[in-house]
Amino acid sequence: MSDKVHIFDTTLRDGEQTAGVCFSERDKIDIATRLDALRVDVIEAGFPAASAAEVRSVAAVARSVRDATVCALARAVATDIDAAAEALRDARRPRIHVFVNASDVQLAQQLGKERDEVLGIAEYAVRRARNFTDDVEFSPMDATRADPKFVAQIVRVALAAGARTINLPDTVGFALPSRCAELFAQVQRDVPEVEEAVLSFHGQDDLGFATANAIAAVSAGARQLEVVVNGIGERAGNTAFEEVVMALGIHGDSLGVHTDVDPSGIVPLSRLVEERSGVSVPPNKAVVGGNAFRHASGIHQDGVLKFRENYEVIDPAAIGHARGSEIVLGKLSGRAGFAARVRALGVSVPTDGLEGAFERFQALANEKRVVDDDDLRELFAVGA
Ligand code: KIV
């Protein structure tokens, strides 16, 4: 039996923490309704304590979303929790996500509080959130750098106060995948009652481990992953939505898990978030980058032309990629790729044959980065 991994999308909250990003209310509604249509389980719509406008945006998302749970983030203080509750008043399925610092460094250098005091704060905050909704998530922030004994203590307190989801964040993108897996195992061993809750992972990408850490967390029992479309977010960003959905789609059987997300809208969703956030997707970005299905070298072109799966693990059509696989001609391309592009163009073979045209192509490719269709037509006109 395969377990479901809940997909918790925080594009509208942590994604908006990308330097320079500011989603309008319209942006939030458009992105949230698209996520809802793709059967994302939870949409974290924002941080209502930030401003009255943020309360209004989260409320607008709450009214627009039909099926997904709509979540609002709150620090473990009354005013934040009350703002979250107000913003979620019209949500069909409201969740309040409460967090408090848990690592010694953040307790001493940011919060200025002792561990015992923080346990009391966590208990108070979860109880207060439970007055508004049964669906309360608790995050001990910076869990991967915190003392595991304190993580166990605070998780116990949050569960007793009524938290239903326990999220263990790698807040500064510090942990190795092995450490993430160990932390999830430790918490399940030390706090057996956590079995009643959903364990979740939230990862930042400071060392480029965010997706690997998320998969390691799943392999150790996490059943919710917090993700952001295109991997944007605070500093170096977050675990990418599209990477997690596809990784679990491809490796779900071996991990014994699945998600309910429909992958067919991944690329259009990525383009929407790119446009509304103003953050360009790098060409080499996994799954949604412009080069993700472009083949440039002769050996790869030959292989993919013979059988797509020789060099692709994802079918571009299955994720809504309009262009599909592409052969891009350049310096390293070989005869197979060249002949395929020529055939696709429908130009007639010149008098010196395909080989003569290929030699002219190679000479040009050494001067130009990409030989495009116009260049090919010209090459063939010269040889005609
Ligand atoms: O990075 C983080 O720890 C967070 C928490 C609020 C989950 O964003």
- Tens-digit pLDDT string for the chain (384 aa): 899 999 999 999 999 999 999 999 999 999 999 999 999 999 999 999 999 999 999 999 999 999 999 999 999 999 999 999 999 999 999 999 999 999 999 999 999 999 999 999 999 999 999 999 999 999 999 999 999 999 999 999 999 999 999 999 999 999 999 999 999 999 999 999 999 999 999 999 999 999 999 999 999 999 999 999 999 999 999 999 999 999 999 999 999 999 999 999 999 999 999 999 999 999 999 999 999 999 999 999 999 999 999 999 999 999 999 999 999 999 999 999 999 999 999 987 776 788 888 999 999 999 999 999 999 998 888 656
d(Cα 188, Cα 199) in Å, to the nearest integer?
9
- The pLDDT, as a whole number, for residue 382 is 67
d(Cα 232, Cα 277) in Å, to the nearest integer?
9
Contact 32, 67 (CB under 8 A): no
Q: At 243, which amino acid appears?
A: E
d(Cα 254, Cα 219) in Å, to the nearest integer?
10
Measured in Å, residue 164 CA sits from the centre of ligand 1 at 17
d(Cα 9, Cα 83) in Å, to the nearest integer?
20
Measured in Å, residue 226 CA sits from the centre of ligand 1 at 9
Measured in Å, residue 204 CA sits from the centre of ligand 1 at 8
- Determine if ligand 1 sits within 6 Å of the CB of residue 219: no
307's CB contacts (< 8 A; 6+ apart) are: none
The preferred substitution site among 42, 106, 139 for testing ligand 1, maximizing ligand atoms within 8 Å of CB, is 139
What atom in ligand 1 is closest to the CA of residue 172? 1
Measured in Å, residue 169 CA sits from the centre of ligand 1 at 6
- Residue of the nearest CA to atom 1 in ligand 1? 171
Other CB atoms within 10 Å distance of the CB of residue 218: 27
What atom in ligand 1 is closest to the CA of residue 167? 7
- The pLDDT, as a whole number, for residue 383 is 59
Measured in Å, residue 239 CA sits from the centre of ligand 1 at 12
Rounded to two decimals, the pTM is 0.96
107 three-class SS: helix
The preferred substitution site among 13, 75, 202 for testing ligand 1, maximizing ligand atoms within 8 Å of CB, is 202
264's CB contacts (< 8 A; 6+ apart) are: 318, 319, 320
What atom in ligand 1 is closest to the CA of residue 143? 3
End-to-end CA distance of the chain: 63
The preferred substitution site among 99, 145, 226, 227 for testing ligand 1, maximizing ligand atoms within 8 Å of CB, is 99
Contact 8, 57 (CB under 8 A): no
- Determine if ligand 1 sits within 6 Å of the CB of residue 99: yes
- Determine if ligand 1 sits within 6 Å of the CB of residue 14: yes
Residues of the chain with CATH 3.20.20.70: 3-277
Degrees to nearest 5, angle at CA 12 with 172 and 160: 65
- Give the DSSP letter of residue 294: E
What atom in ligand 1 is closest to the CA of residue 13? 8
CATH topology assigned to domain 3-277: TIM Barrel (3.20.20)
d(Cα 319, Cα 307) in Å, to the nearest integer?
19
- Determine if ligand 1 sits within 6 Å of the CB of residue 169: yes
The preferred substitution site among 103, 204, 213 for testing ligand 1, maximizing ligand atoms within 8 Å of CB, is 204
Structure-derived torsion over alpha carbons of residues 155, 156, 157, 163, reported in degrees to the nearest 10: 70
